[in-house]
Chain A
Amino acid sequence: MAIFINEHTKVIVQGLTGGQGKFHGLRNRAYGTNVVGGVTPGKGGQDVEGIPVFDNVADAVRATGADASFVAVPPKAAPAAILEAAAAGVRFIVCITEGVPAQDEARVFATLQRDFPGTRLLGPNCPGIISPGRCNIGITAGEIAQPPTAGGRNVGIVSRSGTLTYQALFELKQQRIGVSTCVGIGGDPVPGTSFVDCLAEFQNDPETSAILMIGEIGGSAEEEAAEFIKANVTKPMSAYIAGVTAPAGKKMGHAGAIVSGGKGTAQGKMDALRAAGVKIGANPTEAAQLMAQIIAALG
C-alpha cells in the first residue's frame, strides 16, 4: 500500500516533449513508473523514446487508460493543463510548475472542487510524489529513497519543501528506514493537496507506521495540521519547520513562505505541533534522527 499512487498507477506527462517534461518523464520511467503517454498539442502521433505522444489528454486517456498526470508545462499553460486533465477523468494530477499566479491557483482549486470533486491535485510548485520502489511522479531523485519493507515499520513523509524532503529521504535511507510514500505538497499559497489531506491518508495506510512532516513559514497549514493531528492522528510523528530566522514581510524563495502581520511564524507552528504531541527537530537532520528513534521504539 501507498497513498495516492501505487505500482499500478498509469501516468501521462503533459509537456513530455518540452525540456522539463522530457527530462523528468524519462527519469520517472527509468525508475519503474508506468509512464504510458505524453501530451503536447500539435505533436500527436510522435513519440519520445518510445512513449506515445497525444494531442490532448482525452485522447491519451482513451488510448492508454492513464489515471494520473504529471503536468510539466510553463506557468501560463499550467492552469488550463490541470483542468484539461481533470475533465478527461484523470483522478490524480501532479503539477511541478513554479510561478503560477495565486489568482489562477485559487480559481483552479475552486473549479476542481465544483466540477471534478473526485480529482486530486498535488502542487503546483511541488517536487511530486514517490512511493519508493513502485512509482515516482515528479522530480525526486528516486535513488535516495529507501523502499518500504513488507510487514516492517515504514515512514510516510509530507513536506512543503523539495530539498529538505530529499535530505529527510536520504537520512532515513542511511539508517535503512523504509518510506511508504513521500509527498511534496509544494510551497505555493494555494496547494491542491494540504498537510491534512496527506495526514488523513497516512493515518489510514496500514503500511505507514509513523509520519515525518516538514513545514515552513507562511500561512496556517501547519497549525491546521496540528489541530487535525490532535483529533485524528494516532501514529507517532516528528517534524521540522524551516524559517525561524526569516525576516517578516520577505518571501523566502517560495511564493507562500512569508511571515506577514506577525502570522505564519516558525515558532508558532512548532508550538502548535508540539502541543499536538509531535516531536520537533531543530534542523532536518534532527527531525530524521527523532524519526529513527520513533521507529526503534516501535520495535
Chain B
Amino acid sequence: MDLFEYQGKQYFAKFGIPVSAGDVAHTVDEAVAISERVGYPVVVKAQVQVGGRGKAGGIKLANNKAEVLTHATNILGMDIKGHVVKRVWVECASDIAEEYYASFTLDRAAKQHLLMLSAQGGVEIEDVAAKDPTAIVKLHINPIVGIDEVMAKKAAADAKIPVKAQDGVAAILVKLYGCFTKGDCDLAEINPLILKPTGEVHALDAKVSLDGNALFRHPEWEAFRATEELDDRERLAREKDLQYIGLDGDVGIIANGAGLAMSTLDVVSQVGGKAANFLDIGGGANAELMTSALEVINFDTNVKSIFINIFGGITRGDEVAKGIVEAMRRVQLRAPIVIRLDGTNAEEGRKILADAGIPTSKLMSKPTMLEAARAAVDLANGKTV
C-alpha cells in the first residue's frame, strides 16, 4: 500500500522524523487556513501517487494569501498523468542549503535490510545510480542487529555528506529505520533529505510503502486504506474480500491461485487478447465465492467474455462446477463464460456443467488453457466459437 506524501509525513512524524509544519487541505479555504496558521511563505503540493508533480505545475511557492488562493485553485482538480488532484499538502517553505537521499528497503536477494544513502538528493535516485553509482552508499543491515548512530554516521561519512550534517543525518537514519521496521514499511524513502542554512537536517518529502500483510497490527492504517486510489471495480472487489486488480482489456479472468491467475493473463495475451483484470479466488471455488467473483467481473462494462481457469487440487472439479452453476443462477451475466477445468475430478465437473442445461452461448467448456483462452478472445472480438 503506497501512501500519499502527506500521509508519509504524518507517519514519519510519529517516529520522530522532523518534517515541515503543515497539513493536508481538500479545499482552497482549508489551504488558506493552514497557510495562515503555519506562516508564509508556504509550499502548496499536489497529492498524487505519480512522479513529475513539479514539472506538471503541481508544486508552487506562495508568499501570501492571494498566491495561496491562486495556486490551490489551480492545483486542486488538476490532472497529473491521469491522476486527479483531490488534496494538497500545504507546508512552511524551507530554505535549502543541500539536498541528500536516504531510504530503507528489504534486499530480497540478501534477505537483509538495505540502506541507500547519497549526498546527491532531490533527483531520481535511479538517475544518480545510472550516472554515478559510486555516489550511492549501500549498506546491508542484519534485521536482528539493526542500525545505531555510530553505523549511521559512518554511512553518512562514506556517502561524503559534509561533516556539519553528519550527526543530523545519522539521527534521522536511526529514526527512519525505526519507522521502516516497527512501522512495517516495504519502503521508507526521504528525497530530498535537506540541510537548512541553520544546520538542521529535515525530511522535505516522504515516500512510504506499507506491507499489507502487517495490517493486523496497525489498526491506524484503516485511514490510509480509505484514501487508496482504487477504481470502482477494485473497490467492489475489496468489499467482497477478493484478490482483484483492474486492467484495461475485455476478457474477464477468474482463476484459482495467484500463479495460475498470472499465467492466465499471459496466455490470453499470447493468443492476441487483453485481460480485463487479475482475480485469484484461491482454493475455495464454492458458490459464494464464485458468485462474488462473477458479480465483480459483471460490474466491468468492458468485459466481453469471461475466462474461468480452474485447476482442482484439493478443491475438486465437481465442487467447482456446482459452484459455477449455482453462481450463474444468482448473477445475470452480460458476457459468455469459457471454462477450463482440470485436475482432481475434472471430468465429473465437466459433466455437471454439460448437464446443467446452460446453452453453450452462455457457458462453454474447453479442455486446455490455450484452447479456452482462444475461445474467450474470439468471443470478446465478436466472433462465434
Residues of A whose CB lies within 8 Å of any CB of B are 27, 75-76, 99-103, 106-107, 109-111, 114, 139-141, 143-144, 159-167, 170, 187, 189-190, 214, 216-217, 219-221, 224, 240, 242-247, 250-257, 261, 266, 282-285
Contact = CB atoms under 8 A, between A and B. Distances in A.
A250 B259 CA distance: 14
Contact of B143 (A107, A252, A254, A284): A107
B302 interface: no
A242 B109 contact: no
Interface in B347-385: 368-370
A77 B269 CA distance: 40
Contacts, number: 163
B258 A187 contact: yes
B108 A219 contact: yes
A111 B314 CA distance: 34
B366 to A, nearest CB: 13
Contacts of A285: 368-370
A236 B370 CA distance: 26
Contacts of B126: 261
B112 A106 contact: yes
Most buried by B among A143, A163, A253: A163
B349 to A, nearest CB: 14
6 contacts: A102-B184, A110-B143, A163-B260, A190-B111, A246-B265, A255-B213
B109 A219 contact: yes
B270 interface: yes
Contact of A250 (B143, B211, B245): B245
A252 B262 contact: yes
A114 B143 CA distance: 11
Given A164-B259, A251-B212, A283-B369, 7 more contacts: A101-B213, A103-B143, A110-B142, A139-B313, A163-B255, A166-B343, A219-B109
Interface of B, helix, strand, loop or mixed by DSSP: mixed
Contact of B259 (A100, A101, A163, A221): A163
Nearest to B278: A252
A166 B313 CA distance: 7
A109 B111 contact: yes
A170 B343 contact: yes
A183 B343 CA distance: 19
B260 A167 contact: yes
Contact of A103 (B211, B283, B312): B211
B262 A257 contact: yes
B92 to A, nearest CB: 32
A86 to B, nearest CB: 14
A27 B269 CA distance: 37
B313 A141 contact: yes
